[in-house]
Amino acid sequence: MAQQDTGPGTRRSAGAALRAALEGAGYEVLPFTGTAEAVLAHVPRSVPLTVTASPSRGTEATLRLTERLSAEGYRVAPHLSARMLRDAAELREVVQRLRAAGTTSVFVVGGDAKEAGEFPDASALLRALQEVGHPFTDVGVAGYPEGHASLSAAALERSLAEKAPMAHHVVTQVCFDAAAIAAWAREVAALGVHLPVRVGVPGAVGREKLLRISAGIGVGESARFLRKQPGLLRRFFTPRGYDPGPVLDGLAGELGASGHHLAGLHVFTFNDLERTEAWRQRALRRLERYR
């Protein structure tokens, strides 16, 4: 990964920041049949994991995979989807199971379920978690550098400001424009939200894998996902699949810079774990001189 030629000191600083981000990157996985086995085969236990939630698979699939991987020694954060939880009683049951599994981190989202129970959005679920006395020391919430298909920019700003006091970090949705990510992070900081921001980037995913995943999560969910990911198909459906290198090159000079809180990487693997981990290891070897 070539760094911009802005002087030896700057290049070394950017290279070191990018290497640190890759070393500490977390992987997001989907709770499909065979996911646990793929994780065990290809992902080091030093890599923190996040398990998604979807209406087609239900909260139970997310919890079971979280429990399984936690028992195998991974640090696992399940997605808690507000619109998929019925009420406070179900939330208490979920919290109890995660406490028993030793879970210390969760990622709270509003979710795409058509029908909502007691919690219409992520803010409502975060408040409920506080009321039930949750044990989680690391709570993540979502950020949207390129906006949201069904929410205005003003609504997104209000939502993030509401969630921030109840959270510990922000994970961005996929964005392929490093300058847009940095500009958004500065806007968020200017609003008074000073949480660390983990940049959401796709892993090294093949187009065949993305097609299978898209088909597997259901037509409705796939359509909603793709609407929230501008340019995803064009970038993934190349003969060799997707290469995260260019967007990371653009981010290298921004990680750790002033004026925002970009602080790490969150890799959307789409369960292409072998290919993504091989890419990460190659990138770390190329950045070895920046240790």
Q: Report how many domains make up the chain.
A: 1
Position 213 in a domain = yes
Overall pTM > 0.75: yes
Q: How far apart are CA 225 and CA 148, in angstroms?
A: 11
Domain of residue 192: give its range.
45-290
Question: CATH number of the domain that 62 lies in?
Answer: 3.20.20.220
What is the tens place of the pLDDT at every residue in 74-106? 999 999 999 999 999 999 999 999 999 999 999
Q: How far apart are CA 153 and CA 18, in angstroms?
A: 29
Position 231 in a domain = yes
Position 122 in a domain = yes
Asked whether the predicted pLDDT for residue 225 surpasses 70, the reply is no
What is the tens place of the pLDDT at every residue in 247-280? 888 888 898 888 999 989 999 998 999 999 999 9
Position 199 in a domain = yes
- Cα separations in angstroms, 30 against 131, 197, 263: 29, 22, 24
Position 226 in a domain = yes
Position 136 in a domain = yes
Rounded to the nearest angstrom, the gap between the alpha carbon of residue 202 and the centroid of all alpha carbons in its chain is 9
Position 221 in a domain = yes
What is the tens place of the pLDDT at every residue in 30-80? 999 999 999 999 999 999 999 999 888 899 999 999 999 999 999 999 999
> Position of tokens 């020694």?
73
Question: At 233, is the pLDDT very low, low, confident or very high (cuts 50, 70, 90)?
Answer: low
Position 126 in a domain = yes
Q: How far apart are CA 81 and CA 128, in angstroms?
A: 13
In SS3 terms, 167-229 reads as: CCEEEECCCCCHHHHHHHHHHHHHCCCCCCEEEEEECCCCHHHHHHHHHHCCHHHHHHHHHCC
